[in-house]
Amino acid sequence: MKSVRVSLGRDAATLGPLHETLCTSPSLEREVVLGGQAVDGVETITSFVYEDGSGDGRAAYESALEDLETVREYDATPADEGFFLYLRRELGAEGLSLLNALAQETVVVVPPIELRSDRTIRTTVVGRSADLAAVLEALSDGVTVDVLWTSDRVTTTKTAASDRQLAAMRAARSVGYYEVPRRNGIEAVAAELDCAVSTASALLRRGEANVIDRVLDSRR
């Protein structure tokens, strides 16, 4: 068996409305689908949606949900860093084609599935080499595939820091925030990002925590 970590790029025509909300709302960072199933054309998922700390992200996401006739029910529960989402919705032709391409009889999609603000979806699929290749080739037009890594073991990868967290850390480095002694403080980082100081601070804390967890876990 092989594990393959892939990044699926979506163009404007194939990008779903909820994923589009993640990409266009400045208050939302990414959504991590923790689990779910599709039965008779109805998808039920649980996920965690990360916000930037401003508190506007859940309202933007719920507004998008209310606009969709395909949504049967949902519940958004606030939590630290974002909110948990329970969602049941009808899948249209595009959703079914992508789902069917990934969920073949001999291939397993391993959660979490990460929907990112750069129009990509990252996930891990496990199966025999020939079956995995067939699944990736069967993806519909408008979906590009970037293989991030392959492994001869059944394994998965924790989600990395979000794009906005990485941008915050790059901005912090560029203004000397990480220098010893520190050349500039959090105010300079916020100015570089053109956001509130509290938002810049939250992005750095969460991004640094994610990076540290990844490094320490990889050393076990």
pLDDT in tens, 189-203: 999 999 889 888 988
Bridge partners (DSSP) of residue 84 are 48, 77
In tens, the pLDDT along 3-45 reads 888 888 888 777 888 999 999 998 898 899 888 887 888 889 9
In the chain, the largest separation of any two C-alpha atoms, in whole Å, equals: 60
- Contact yes or no for 39/156 (Cβ under 8 A): no
Annotated domain spans of the chain:
2-151, 163-218
Tell me the C-alpha distance between 172 and 100, whole Å.
42
Report the SS3 class of residue 72. Answer: strand
Confidence grade of residue 109 (pLDDT, cut at 50, 70, 90): confident
pTM of this prediction? 0.69
